[in-house]
A and B are shown apart, each in its own frame.
Chain A
Amino acid sequence: MAGLPLYVLLCSGEHEKVQMAAMIASVGAVSDRPVEVFVSMGALAIFAKAAPAEGRYHGGAFARLMREKGAPDALNLLHQGRELGELKVWACSMALDLHGWEVDDLVEGMFDGALGLTSFLSDAESGQLVTL
C-alpha cells in the first residue's frame, strides 16, 4: 500500500535547498510514497534548458562543498526518482509566464507540465507539504 503522498513546494534557487528538495522527492518516491514537486519563483531558472551545466547552481559554503566532494546532482536525483518511483514535477505557470517560457524551455524529461498554485495546493490537501 502506498504511503502518504508528499508534496514539495520548491521556491528557492539556492543550491542547498534545491538539493534538499531533490533528496526528499527522490527518496520519498523510491520509498513507496507518491511525490509531486511544484517548482516556482527563483527555483525555476535552475531547470532552464539553456542554463549552463557548469554554473547551474548557486549557493553558499555548503554548496561549494557539495560540488567539491561530488554530491549527487540534484537534477539527476529527480530524474532517478521519476524513473524508479512515482514522482511528478510541475512548473509553476506564473513563474513560466514571468520568464516568458514554455515547459519546452525547461530540462527535457523532467516536467509533467505546467500547473497553477491553486491546483497544487488543492492536491496537496491529501498529503504532507514540504516547502523549500
Chain B
Amino acid sequence: MSERHKVDARGAYCPGPLMELIATLRHCAIGDEVEMWSTDTGSATDIPAWVKKARHELVGVSQEGDHWAIIVRKAH
C-alpha cells in the first residue's frame, strides 16, 4: 500500500525544497507520494521540471494560502 509523505519546506530558499524532495523520494517506495509545501516561488516551476527530467510523476501543483503544494509520485 502506497503512502503519502509530507515535507514542510516553507521558509527554505532555492534549491533547499528541491533537495529535501529528492532526499525524501530516495527513502520512499515506488508508488509512494511526496507532498511538498514550499514558499519558494521557483519551486512551483523548478520542481515539476526536475520531476519530468527524473521521470517521476507530477500529481499536482496548487497554491494553498501562503505556500505551494506540489505532489510527486515516485515512479522508479
Q: How far apart are B32's CB and chain A's nearest CB, in angstroms?
A: 17
Taking a contact as CB atoms closer than 8 A, the residue among A23, A31, A70 that contacts B54 in the complex is: A31
On chain B, the number of residues with a Cβ less than 8 Å from chain A's Cβ atoms is 14
Contact between A30 and B50, CB atoms less than 8 A apart = yes
Q: CA of A27 to CA of B20 in the docked complex: distance in angstroms? A: 12
Query: Which chain B residues (1-42) contact chain A, with CB distance < 8 Å?
Result: 11-16, 18-19, 22-23, 26
With a cutoff of 8 Å between Cβ atoms, the chain A residues found around residue B14 in the complex are 23, 72
Q: How far apart are A52's CB and chain B's nearest CB, in angstroms?
A: 23
Closest to A69 in B: B13
Q: A80-B23, A84-B23, A84-B26 are in contact. Are A30 and B13 (CB under 8 A)?
A: no
| A: interface residue count bin | 10 to 19
Contact between A70 and B13, CB atoms less than 8 A apart = yes
Chain B residues touching A, majority SS: helix
Taking a contact as CB atoms closer than 8 A, the residue among B11, B13, B16, B22 that contacts A84 in the complex is: B22
Q: How far apart are A70's CB and chain B's nearest CB, in angstroms?
A: 7
Q: How far apart are A80's CB and chain B's nearest CB, in angstroms?
A: 5
Q: A residues engaging B (CB < 8 A)? A: 23, 26-27, 30-32, 69-72, 77, 80, 83-84
6 contacts between A and B (CB under 8 A): A23-B14, A30-B50, A31-B54, A32-B54, A72-B13, A84-B26
Q: B residues engaging A (CB < 8 A)? A: 11-16, 18-19, 22-23, 26, 50, 53-54
